[in-house]
């Protein structure tokens, strides 16, 4: 297995070769990113990563986490951090999506501190672990929902985005509750998004919830929640 630094060098070279540098400034401006871009669209990043990671022989969770963190911490361009997230999602890492991985994901969430990273981790990584280990993850999400870090709070709200009928409504509402009075845009948006997503499964329930909590929901959260309700 390549060391993290070696893998990062290979990925950086691959991304540089695929880059459209004319696109990079606009991508950086759109994401309000202090970290520059190579200029590689995200679908292509994922395709390149799939090829780069195809022959990885991940022996255990510690080695996988070591590679992810090496890519993340060593990144100089935003696509390199997207590559770290892509490594989290590889099929060869499926067995490592367990509660001990949450320490690593917490670092990515706190140091990434922006929606493009956090939303992917929340829905596709934390959500996966919550499905498999509902007891410990439920307690952690309840704790995160009340903490001072807005991105951990956003994660707690959004971690069930793909659960549909399997959504734990008590957990969803409990994770929303501490942020109902928040002035933070990203928390207000997350509340509305999570409610709107579940409305596809049970619109009547979301109508009931927004009616009951109309005075406490921000205008943004309310608009998002009812967007697809008749």
Q: What is the pLDDT of residues 20-29, one digit of tens each?
A: 999 999 999 9
For residue 99, which of 55, 148, 65 has the smallest C-alpha distance?
Answer: 65
pLDDT digits (tens, 9 = 90+) for 185-205: 999 999 999 999 999 999 999
What's the chain's average pLDDT?
A: 95
Rg of the Cα atoms in the chain: 19
Distance CA 137, CA 102 (A): 9
Residue carrying the six token digits 């608009």: 223
Statement: residue 54 has pLDDT above 90? no
pLDDT digits (tens, 9 = 90+) for 72-115: 999 999 999 999 999 999 998 999 999 999 999 999 999 999 99
Statement: residue 3 has pLDDT above 80? no
Delineate the domains of the chain, giving CATH numbers in brackets: 1-93 (1.25.10.90)
pLDDT band at 2 (very low <50, low <70, confident <90, very high): low
Contact 180, 225 (CB under 8 A): no
Distance CA 125, CA 101 (A): 9
Contact 53, 87 (CB under 8 A): yes
Report the 10 Å Cβ neighbour count for 137. 23
pTM: 0.95
Statement: residue 1 has pLDDT above 60? no
Statement: residue 51 has pLDDT above 70? yes
For residue 80, which of 25, 40, 130, 29 has the smallest C-alpha distance?
Answer: 40
């Amino acid at each position: 297995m390549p060391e993290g630094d070696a893998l990062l060098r290979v990925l950086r070279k691959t991304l540089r070769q695929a880059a459209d540098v004319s696109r990079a400034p606009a991508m950086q401006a759109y994401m309000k990113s202090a970290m520059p871009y190579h200029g590689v669209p995200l679908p292509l990043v994922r395709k390149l990563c799939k090829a780069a990671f195809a022959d990885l022989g991940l022996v255990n969770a510690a080695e996988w986490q070591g590679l992810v963190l090496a890519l993340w911490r060593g990144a100089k361009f935003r696509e390199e951090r997207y590559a770290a997230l892509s490594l989290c999602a590889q099929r060869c890492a499926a067995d490592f999506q367990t509660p001990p991985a949450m320490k690593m994901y917490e670092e990515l969430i706190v140091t990434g501190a922006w929606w493009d990273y956090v939303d992917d981790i929340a829905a596709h990584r934390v959500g996966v672990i919550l499905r498999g280990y509902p007891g410990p993850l439920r307690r952690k999400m309840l704790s995160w929902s009340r903490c001072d870090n807005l991105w951990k709070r956003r994660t707690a709200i959004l971690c069930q985005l793909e659960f549909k009928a399997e959504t734990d409504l008590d957990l969803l509402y409990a994770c929303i509750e501490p942020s109902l009075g928040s002035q933070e845009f990203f928390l207000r948006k997350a509340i509305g998004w999570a409610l709107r997503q579940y409305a596809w499964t049970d619109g009547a329930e979301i109508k009931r919830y927004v009616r009951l909590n109309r005075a406490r929901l921000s205008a943004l959260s309310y608009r998002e929640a009812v967007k697809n309700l008749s």
